[in-house]
Amino acid sequence: MLEFEKEQKVIEIADVKIGGQPGENSVVAVGSVFYSKHDALKNEKTGEFDKDMVEEEINEFMTIVDETNLQAIIDVVGANPDALIKECKFVADLVDIPFLVDGLNDEIRIPAMEGMKEAGLLDRAILNSIDDNTNEEDVGKLKEIGVKNAVLLTFGTRYIFPEQKLSFLKDDLIPKAERAGIKNIIVDTAVLDLASLSLNYETTRLVKNELGLPAGYAPSNGVYGWDFVKQYGDETRAAGIAAAMVNALDAGSDFILYGPIKFSKWIIPSLALIEATNSYYRKRILRKNVSDKTPLNKIFK
């Protein structure tokens, strides 16, 4: 059972606690909306979407999160700043949890964060992300806006292996975040492809064991394109996807981007099962406190 040597930092954004030792706080399940193939998205450029469909998907997500006592963040994806601002505002009106402001590059993300400032949403908005392409001008803009929360993405052609990602984080991304005045940082260990999930597993362990920072990743970036398993049918494919997410949890991940929000029923119960056993071990064997944000007293009744 995992117990990291380094003291773990726990950050809190809109009552969601991210970080800590395994079993201390529940993993944060992150579901995505407005991605390019989202059925609800009518026009990617304008941000026109089916409001009823998105609301239904988010409500189902929030219901199953509440039933399992996991924690949640919504990943809001946008193709341009205006669309992303519109989509973030819609989500923020529906729920009171944090949300990722997720665009392809800083040209999309930074103006969207400016929009979040104007809307009074910076406390809940999480920039996704600060990365290898974030330059000093971008850092200055983030500081000027007053961005409080950000994901640090350890992605780059020079940063493939765990030790490389850790060095990149320490030498480049964290200093950028500090210069930008970011209060709460979350580390995404950056999935390259399906076969490299083991590298993310080890990188996540390194980040938590050496730096004590909240960390996790997105197995969904590789696993939903897994063609081999499709020959066995949808149920087998769903089980394989859930297994990949649980593997990320076993690495000590504090958050997991599981993909389209509509797949919450495939993923969240499996995460809750492992989280509950982690909390049981921490409480019963290690004799240490667990927060009220775990499934332990929910799913075994």
β-strands 41-43, 48-49 pairing: antiparallel
Query: Each residue of 197-254: pLDDT tens digit?
Result: 999 999 999 999 999 999 999 998 888 889 999 999 988 988 888 999 999 999 999 9
pLDDT band at 149 (very low <50, low <70, confident <90, very high): very high
Q: What is the mean pLDDT of residues 44-60?
A: 96
What sign has the CA pseudo-torsion 33, 155, 245, 274?
Answer: negative
Tokens encoding 130: 């600060």
Low-confidence winner among 8-12, 122-126, 193-197 (lowest mean pLDDT):
193-197
Query: Each residue of 157-178: pLDDT tens digit?
Result: 899 999 999 999 999 999 999 9
Which residue, chain included where needed, has tokens 């964060």? 113
Residues 6+ apart with CB under 8 A from 272: 26, 68, 69, 70, 295, 298, 299
pLDDT at 137: 98
pLDDT band at 43 (very low <50, low <70, confident <90, very high): very high
**Residue (of 29, 14, 12) closest to 63 by Cα position:** 29
pTM: 0.96
pLDDT band at 297 (very low <50, low <70, confident <90, very high): confident
Assess whether pLDDT exceeds 60 at residue 151.
yes
- Go through the domains of the chain in sequence order and give each one's CATH number: 10-299 (3.20.20.20)
Query: Quick count: other Cβ atoms within 10 Å of Cβ 28?
Result: 27
Q: What are phi and psi of 265, to 5 degrees?
A: -70, -25
pLDDT at 222: 85
Query: Each residue of 119-135: pLDDT tens digit?
Result: 999 999 999 999 999 99
CA pair distance 170, 112, nearest whole angstrom? 27
Average pLDDT score, the chain: 95
